[in-house]
């Protein structure tokens, strides 16, 4: 599988070790940086990596920063990317089965190397279940197209209903 890696300074060392692991497993790896642990900005690496996946130049992306949050937020701005921030093997597996995640975001400051390898291994071998989950992914894709201005047809979604708090002192900001 062709996998693109990206990390900011806080994810750099974990990315380097993960790259070695992936190569040993027989995967092709495209490294979009960072190339050091010198302070850097995660969007500078997340966007090019995710564009490789969105443009079918890689099958999946693995993105690392200190908490994984910045990479996840940035990755999900790229059309066609379904990035999942995961902290354990189960969430990594479910992100593939139910969400067809094509980008895995990892918190380098919070996970040890062995857990990272197990999570990535599970994520890479887990197939998308399809079925009812495919319907949901189609809705996400339709919303993405609409919100990015690629379609003039509004996605079909249920109307939001406003509910008022009941009783005195319920809720803030009255």
CATH of the domain at 54: 3.40.1400.10
Give the domain extent around 143: 130-164
Q: Which residues are catalytic?
A: 65, 98
- Specify the pLDDT at position 68: 98
Residue pLDDT, tens place only, 10-37 = 999 999 999 999 999 999 999 999 999 9
Alpha helices by DSSP H, listed for the chain, are: 12-24, 43-54, 69-75, 89-97, 113-125, 132-147
Q: Are residues 94 and 149 in the same domain?
A: no
- Tokens representing residue 18 in the block: 């993960």
Any domain includes 144 = yes
Residue 108 and residue 138 share a domain: no
Same domain for 42 and 109, yes or no, is: yes
- φ, ψ dihedrals at 137, nearest 5°: -65, -40
| pTM of the predicted structure, to 2 decimals | 0.86
Residue 172 forms part of a structural domain? no
CA dist 108 and 6 (Å) reads 12
Q: Over 80: is that where the pLDDT of 174 sits?
A: no
Please indicate, yes or no, if residue 170 is contained in any of the structural domains: no
**Sign of the C-alpha dihedral computed for residues 51, 96, 71 and 26 taken in this order:** negative
Mean pLDDT of 117-146: 92
Q: What share of the chain is helix, strand, coil (3-state, %, to 5)?
A: 40, 15, 45
Split at pLDDT 50, 70, 90, the class of 160 is low
The whole-chain average pLDDT of the chain stands at 91
Please answer whether residues 42 and 32 qualify as being in contact, where contact means their C-beta atoms are separated by less than 8 angstroms: no
């Amino acid at each position: 599988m062709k996998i693109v890696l990206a990390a900011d300074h806080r994810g750099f060392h974990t990315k380097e070790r993960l790259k070695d692991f992936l190569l040993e497993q027989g995967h092709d790896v495209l490294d979009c940086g960072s190339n050091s642990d010198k302070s850097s900005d995660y969007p500078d690496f997340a966007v090019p990596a995710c564009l490789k996946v969105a443009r079918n130049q890689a099958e999946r992306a693995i993105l690392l920063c200190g908490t994984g949050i910045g990479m996840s937020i940035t990755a999900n701005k790229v059309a066609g990317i379904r990035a999942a921030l995961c902290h354990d093997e189960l969430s990594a597996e479910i992100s593939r089965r139910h969400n067809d995640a094509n980008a895995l975001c990892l918190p380098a400051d919070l996970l040890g190397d062995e857990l990272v390898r197990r999570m990535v291994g599970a994520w890479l071998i887990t197939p998308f279940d399809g079925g009812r989950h495919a319907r949901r992914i189609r809705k996400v894709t339709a919303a993405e197209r609409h919100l990015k201005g690629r379609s003039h047809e509004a996605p079909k979604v249920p109307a939001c209903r406003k509910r008022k708090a009941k009783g005195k002192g319920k809720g803030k900001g009255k």
